[in-house]
Structure 1
Amino acid sequence: MTVERLARFGDAWRRKDLDALMEFMTEDCVFHASVGAEPGTTFRGSDEVRRGFALMMAFDEGYESRPGGTAFITGDQGATQWSYVHTDESGVVHEVRGCDLFTFEGDRIRVKDAYRKVDADITAPAAL
């Protein structure tokens, strides 16, 4: 994996392109979502990870993804920072900041473990 390739994964996430995202993942991939009951619901295998990605995108609907942030890779591990912003109906801007920790297998992602900071309490939908 390279930082440039990992940036392309982030671009696909911002476009909400599930097909492109899954091309980056291994067949036995794991996604630890940043919200959910565990805390953070875990999805295992490509079909479930795809479903988990779709659920997270729906959860963050209405938030604008900001490109950029720090990214680094060392060996088969890596991390990225990200943020979303949303202006509510009263004009208050809400920001969500987070990071993803990755485990790579060659040039593909085996594990995506997401963490987030929020400016208010959030409740995960029942599906997560």
Structure 2
Amino acid sequence: MTAEDLAKLFDAFNRHDIDNVMAFFAADCVFNAVAGPEASGKRIAGAEAIADAFSGVWTAMRDAHWDHHSHFVHGDRAVSEWTFSGTNEDGTRIVAEGCDLFTLRDGKIVRKQAFRKNRPLIEPQPRY
């Protein structure tokens, strides 16, 4: 896996293209989401469950987007930095910087740990 591969992964995230996203993940991968009941966030295990989680974000936030992403890979570790934005169904928005820490095996992601700044939602602007 290379930094260019990670750029392609995030391009697939931005297209909401689950098949291309999951092509980068091993079948036995683990995803630690940014929020959840555990110290590591919500732990999601297995490619199918992770695909469902990613698709759920795109359903809840139809404009979910990772911008300004940059990546580096060193051995079996990789890091991606990005700015996430998206609009909830109630019109509130989030715009926050974050990063992913990846563990790699045989050119695939086996663990994705997501971290994102915790900031207040942006209230929708009134339309006149």
Shorter chain as normaliser: what TM range? 0.7 to 0.9
* Structure 1: runs of 5 or more not aligned: 122-128
Deviation at 1:97? Answer: 1.2
TM-aligned CA distance change 1:48 to 1:62, over 3 Å: closer
- CA–CA distance in structure 2, aligned partners of residues 116 and 25 of structure 1: 21
Alignment of 1:1-128 (within 5 A): 1-39=1-39, 40-59=41-60, 61=61, 63=63, 65-85=65-85, 94-120=94-120
Give the partner amino acid of 1:46: A
TM-score between the two structures when normalised by the length of structure 1: 0.78
Kept after mapping to 2: 8 A contact 1:71/1:78: yes
State the identity as a percent.
Answer: 32
CA RMSD across the alignment: 2.5
TM-score between the two structures when normalised by the length of structure 2: 0.78
TM-aligned CA distance change 1:93 to 1:23, over 3 Å: closer
Kept after mapping to 2: 8 A contact 1:33/1:52: no
Alignment size in residue pairs: 118
* Structure 2: runs of 5 or more not aligned: 122-128
Deviation beyond 4 Å, 4+ runs, structure 1 = none
- CA–CA distance in structure 2, aligned partners of residues 106 and 86 of structure 1: 32
Deviation at 1:66? Answer: 4.4
Kept after mapping to 1: 8 A contact 2:65/2:85: yes
Higher relative contact order (CA 8 A, sep 6+): 1
